[in-house]
Structure 1
C-alpha cells in the first residue's frame, strides 16, 4: 500500500511538475517570435551625392504664396478658390478626420471602460434540472441591472504602442493632405501657364494669318503682271487656309484648358469660360537654398508622410510583439438581479463580482507569428517607400534645376534665331514685292520666322513651367510643424529596437 506521506510526496511532485510545465509554456509563449526580424533602415539624405547637381546658391525656400511671384492676381484668386471648394481638398480633409477618429479609438483602449445594462426575461424553468422548488417548472420574470467596469493593465505596452501608431498615421494623413494641396495648386499654376502659352501662340497665329493674307494679295497682283501663275496663287491660298485652321485649333485648346482649370477648381465647365487671359510675369530669380538635401526632408510633405508611416509601423510591430505576452484584464460589476418587480430594489437582490482575467497564447497554429511577419513586411515596404520618395524628391529638384538652366541657354540662342528669321522674312517680302525673288523664297522665310516665334514662346512658357515645378519639388512652402525633431531623434533607436534579432 502507498502511505499518506507518499501520496503527499507524489502530489507535491505533481504540482511542482505542473508549475514547471506552465512556466515553460509561458516562456515559450513569450519568446516564440524569435527569428522574425527586419534589417531595413531609413536612408539619410546626406548619404546621396548631390553637391554637383544641387549646389548651394544662397536662395530661399518657397513660401506658401510662391505663385504670387508671377504677379498675376487672377492666378492667386484661382488657387484660393480651389483650396476652399475643391472636392479633392474635401477628400483629403475627410481622410484626416478618419485618421483622427481612429486615433481616438486607439486612445480609448488605453483607458478604463464602464457600461450599464438592464434586461428583463420571462422564462419557464425546467422541473428536472438544477433549479430547486418552488421555481422548478414555474414561469418567472427576471429583472437584472448591472453596472460594470473593466481595465486592461497593458503590462507589455500593446495598447500604448497601438495608440502611438495611430497618432503617427494621423500625422501622415495630415502630411498627405498637404501633398494634395501642393499637387492641386501646382496643377492649377501649370494649367494656367498652359493657357498663357496658348494665348501667345494665338497671337503668333494671328500675325501669321495677316502675313499670309498679304502674300495672297501680292500674288494676285503679280499674276496680273505675269510674274506669277495660278500655281503660286493656289499655294498662297492653301497656306492661308492652313494658318486659319491652326488658329481655330488653338482656340479649341484654349476652351478645353479653361475647362480643365474649372475642374481643378471643383466647379462646372462654365466657370472656366470666365477666366480672363493670363498676365504672368517672369518670376523670381532661381537659386537653390543652402543645406540641401538635409532640409528637404522636412520641406517635402510626401517625405514627411512617408517617415511618419515608418514610425507608425514601428509601433505596430511593437504592439504585435506584445500580443505574444499574457493579457491581464481587471473587471468589476455591481447590480441587482431578482425574480419579479417587487424584490428588484431589495438589498438582498444585490449582486457583486470582481476579479482579474488572464489570457495567455500558447498554441494558435502560427497565427501570431504570421501576423508579426505581416507587420514586418509592411514595415519593410514603408522603409522602401520612404527611401524611394527621398530619391525621387532629390531627382525632381535636380531635374527641374537642370531644365531651367538648359532652357535659359536655349532662350538666348532662340531669341537670336528669332531676330534673324524675322529680318529675313521682312527682306524676302520686300524683294517679292519688287519682283526680285519667288514666292517659294518668301514662304520658306515665313515658315522659318513662324517656327522661331513659336520656339521662343514655348521656351519662355517652358521656363515658367519648370520654375513652378521647382517650387513644388522644394515643397511649395510646406514646413513640417509636427514633432519632427523628436521623430528624427527617435527614428534610429525605434527602428533598431524592432530590427534586432
Structure 2
C-alpha cells in the first residue's frame, strides 16, 4: 500500500516539534535564606572535643552505628519492617511516583492503532437504484489525538510540579524513618528504666519487710513505740504500692514498644536495667553549624514543596498564551476486507487546533495570583520549618549542657544518702538516735535512687533526641 507523503511529512514535523525546548515560564528558584543564627546556642558547652573531631557529621551517622547494642538494632530493624506508619509513608511515595509518571506522559503524544468495520442497510425506497442493500466499510489507522505542543511550557511546568511533589514525598518517608528509629530507641530505654525502677521497688520492699519484722519484735518487747511500728509499716506499704504501679507501667511501656515496632518484641531483646541499656546509645558530636538544618528531611521536604509551588506559577503564566493541539491519523479504508490494504486505499486526516484566550473574566489572572500567593505561603512554611528545627536542636543542646552536672550531682546525692542511712542505722543500733531518724534516712535513700534512674534516662533520651533533631542518618 502506498500512502500520500504529504501527511506523513506533516506528522513527522509535528512529532519533531515536541523535542524542541519549551519556553519556560517557571520563575528562577532561589532558596530563601535560613532565618536563624549561623550557630546553635550552647553548642560549645557540649562540644565533643578534639577526640571526636574526626567523627562523621551528625546528619550522616547511620542508626546502625549510633545504636551499638545488638538487641536494640534488631528491635529497630523489626520496626522498620513492620511499622504501619512507615509502610503508609512508603506507599505514599509509590502513589506520588505514579502520579508523576501520569503527568510526565503528557509531554509525549499518545499514539494508538485501531481498526473497525461499519455496516448500514439501505431500504429500496431510499436507494438510488431502487434496490435495498447493505453498505460495508473497513478501516485501519494509526495516529494520535489532542496532543498539545508545549511551546510555552505549561505541560512541562506541571510535570516539574509533580516531580517536586514526588521528591518531597520521598523526604517525608526519610523523616518518618528517623522519627521511628528515635521513637523505638526511646521506648526501648523507657522499658529498661521501668524494669530498673521495679527491681528497686521490690528490693526496697524486701528490705523494709525485714525492717518491719524487726520493729514488730522490738515493739512486742517494749523497746520501740507504736509510732515507730506504724512508720515502718508506712514505708513498707509505700514500696509495695510503688512495685504494683511499676508492674502496670512496665506492661504499658512494653505495649507502647510493641505498637511502634508493629510486632511483638521478644523478651531476649529487652534490657533488664538502664545501666545495661545506656551503653547502646553513643555520644553524638553536636558541634555543627545551623546549616545542617537545611539537610534535615522535613526541611528538604518543605523546600520541594516550595519548588512545586514555583513550578505551578509557570503553568499559570503559560495559560495566558495560545495553546496548540494536534490530532492526526493515517491508515487505510475499503468497502471490502480483502481490499483494505490494496493500493489507493490510503486515508489520512490532520486536524490542528489553536486556542487563544481573549476574555476569561479575570480567571487566568486570578489563577496566577493564587499560584504566586501559594508560593509565598510555601516560603513562609519553609522558613517556619527551619525555625522549628533550630529550636528543637537548641532545646536539646541546652538540656545537654547541664545533664552532665545533673547526673554527677545525683550520683553524689545517692552516695550521700546511702552514707547517711548507714550512719543513722549505726546510731540507732547504738541507742544514740531514734528510730524515726533511721526511717527518714531510709526514705531519702529510696527517693534519691529513683531520681538517679530518671536522670540517667533523661541523659540517654537526650542523646536520642539530638540524633533525631540533627537529622541523623536515616539509612
**TM-score of the two chains, using structure 1 as the length reference:** 0.78
Match of 1:305 in 2: 301
Match of 2:98 in 1: 101
Write the distance in 2 (CA, Å) between the matches of 1:135 and 1:471: 92
Match of 1:149 in 2: 144
Write the distance in 1 (CA, Å) between the matches of 2:220 and 2:131: 127
Closer/same/farther in 2, CA of residues 143 and 417 from structure 1, 3 Å limit = same
User: Is 1:455 the equivalent of 2:444?
Assistant: no
Match of 2:436 in 1: 440
Write the distance in 2 (CA, Å) between the matches of 1:132 and 1:357: 37
Match of 2:286 in 1: 288
Please give the per-residue CA displacement for 1:316-358, whole angstroms capped at 9, x wherever unaligned.
1112211221111233202344556566555555421124211
Write the distance in 1 (CA, Å) between the matches of 2:335 and 2:184: 72
Closer/same/farther in 2, CA of residues 426 and 43 from structure 1, 3 Å limit = farther
Write the distance in 1 (CA, Å) between the matches of 2:102 and 2:129: 48
CA drift of 1:434 comes to 4.0
Closer/same/farther in 2, CA of residues 424 and 127 from structure 1, 3 Å limit = farther
**TM-score of the two chains, using structure 2 as the length reference:** 0.82
Write the distance in 2 (CA, Å) between the matches of 1:302 and 1:80: 22
Match of 1:217 in 2: 213
Write the distance in 1 (CA, Å) between the matches of 2:439 and 2:324: 90
1:244 maps to which of 224, 228, 240: 240
Which residues in structure 2 correspond to 1:272-287 (within 5 Å)? 273=267, 275-277=269-271, 279-282=276-279, 283-287=281-285
2:189 maps to which of 181, 190, 193: 193
CA drift of 1:378 comes to 2.6
More divergent stretch after superposition (332-341 vs 101-110): 332-341
CA drift of 1:457 comes to 1.2
SS in 1 for 2:360: coil
5+ residue gaps, structure 2, are 1-24
CA drift of 1:122 comes to 4.6
Please give the per-residue CA displacement for 1:262-299, whole angstroms capped at 9, x wherever unaligned.
222221x4x35554325323444454234x1123312x
Match of 1:396 in 2: 392
CA drift of 1:472 comes to 0.9
Match of 2:33 in 1: 44
Closer/same/farther in 2, CA of residues 110 and 468 from structure 1, 3 Å limit = same
Please give the per-residue CA displacement for 1:155-197, whole angstroms capped at 9, x wherever unaligned.
1011222222222222211111111110110100011111121
5+ residue gaps, structure 1, are 1-32, 480-501
More divergent stretch after superposition (274-283 vs 377-386): 274-283
Aligned residues: 437
CA drift of 1:79 comes to 1.1
More divergent stretch after superposition (198-207 vs 174-183): 198-207
Match of 1:9 in 2: none
CA RMSD of aligned residues (A): 3.1
SS in 1 for 2:111: strand
CA drift of 1:134 comes to 6.0
2:224 maps to which of 206, 228, 231: 228
Match of 1:261 in 2: 257
Match of 2:84 in 1: 87
